Amino acid sequence: MLAVTAVNGCRYCSWVHTRRALRSGLAAEEIRDLLAGDVANCPLDEAVGVAYAQHWAESDAHPDPEAVHKLQQTYGPQKTGAIHLILRMIRMANLLGNSWDYLIYRMSFGRRGS
Structural domain harbouring 47? 2-107
User: Side chain identity at 34, as an amino acid letter?
Assistant: L
Helices (H), the chain: 2-8, 11-23, 28-35, 44-58, 65-107
pLDDT at residue 57 in the model: 92
Question: Does 59 score more than 80 pLDDT?
Answer: yes
Is residue 91 one of the residues assigned to a domain? yes
Is residue 113 one of the residues assigned to a domain? no
pLDDT of 22-53, one tens digit each? 999 999 998 988 888 888 888 888 889 999 99
Read off the pLDDT of each residue in 108-114 and give the average, rounded to a whole number: 81
Question: Does 78 score more than 90 pLDDT?
Answer: yes
Number of Cβ atoms within 10 Å of the Cβ of 52: 24
Q: List, in order, residues 6 or more apart from 37 with CB less than 8 Å away.
A: 3, 6, 7, 54
Q: Do residues 1 and 42 lie in contact, with contact meaning Cβ atoms separated by under 8 Å?
A: no
Is residue 114 one of the residues assigned to a domain? no
pLDDT at residue 44 in the model: 84
pLDDT at residue 86 in the model: 93
pLDDT at residue 81 in the model: 97
Is residue 58 one of the residues assigned to a domain? yes
Q: Do residues 75 and 49 lie in contact, with contact meaning Cβ atoms separated by under 8 Å?
A: yes
CA distance 51 to 48: 5
Average pLDDT, the chain: 90
When divided into structural domains, the chain yields a total of: 1
Is residue 112 one of the residues assigned to a domain? no
- Reported as a pLDDT band with limits 50, 70 and 90, residue 60 is very high
